[in-house]
Each structure stands twice: as structure tokens, then as C-alpha cells.
Amino acid sequence: MSRNNHIARQRSDDALKSLARAAALIASRRQPTNPDAREMEVLRSSALLAKQLYTDAAQHAQAALGLARISAIDAKSSAWIGEALVLRARAEAAAGNKAASATAQEALTHLAANLHPAHPLIAQARELAAGRE
């Protein structure tokens, strides 16, 4: 394993440990909905992607998606929903799942309506939708 891969994995491990502590704090609040929980799932998914644990990353992206849908003002147009869909599409693509393109296309619908056209999430979604990532 190269030094850079080792550092990236170590940082991901450290991030996941911190996120586990954050999850316990969020759960201790006993709130029915909490935007911190969505953000935590997004971060967990990202860390798991970095560790190449694609099934786990997709599961946490799906959890973020569920939380984003619950908290969205408009479930048909939400940047948070789009972000979670991009994460799920990234995990699907990395695992070789052909659903990645459709997931990314769904993300584009949300992102294009809510973010600046030059936003990096839109670029990622376009790449995934085209099957290039």
C-alpha cells in the first residue's frame, strides 16, 4: 500500500471514529428529526467511499437520502436529496452497479434546480449520469 493510500485510509478510520461519537451525541438528543443526522450520514458515506467500502457507503448514502427527504421543504426539489443521491451513485458506480447512471440522473433533477450551474456536485452528477466516473 502506498504511503498516500495509507494516510487516506487512516484519516478515513479516524473520521469514522469521530462520526461514531457524533452519532451517539445526536441520538442522545432524542429529537424526531435532526439535520446533524443527515450531515453525519453524508460524511460517513464519504469516508466509507474513501475506504473503498462501497456497499456500506451506499447504505449510509441511502440513510442520508431518507433523512433529506423527511426534512425537505419540497421532496421533488432539494439540494440535500441531490447530494445524497450523488453519494449513492458514486458508491453504485464504484461497485459496478449499473443503477449509478439513473441515480445520478435523479440527482441532477434536484441539484440543477437548487444549486449554481458550476457547483461541483452538478459536475459529479453529470459525469456519473454519463457513466464516466
pTM of the model: 0.80
Q: Angle CA(67)–CA(130)–CA(44) in degrees, nearest 5?
A: 30
CA dist 132 and 100 (Å) reads 11
Range of the domain at 77: 3-129
How far apart are the C-alpha atoms of 68 and 89, rounded to whole Å?
Answer: 16
For residue 95, the one-letter residue type is A
Q: Indicate which CATH number applies to the domain containing 119.
A: 1.25.40.10
pLDDT tens figures, 82-126? 999 999 999 999 999 999 999 999 999 999 999 999 999 999 999
Count of domains for the chain: 1
Tens of pLDDT, residue by residue over 26-79, are 667 676 666 788 988 999 999 999 999 999 999 999 999 999 999 899 989 999
3-state secondary structure 42-95: HHHHHHHHHCCCHHHHHHHHHHHHHHHHHHCCCCCCCHHHHHHHHHHHHHHHHC
In angstroms, rounded to a whole number, what is the distance separating the alpha carbons of residues 36 and 67? 10
Q: pLDDT confidence of 18, banded at 50, 70, 90?
A: confident
Rounded to whole angstroms, the Cα distance separating 28 from 61 reads: 22
Angle between helix axes 54-71 and 35-50 (nearest 10 degrees) is 160
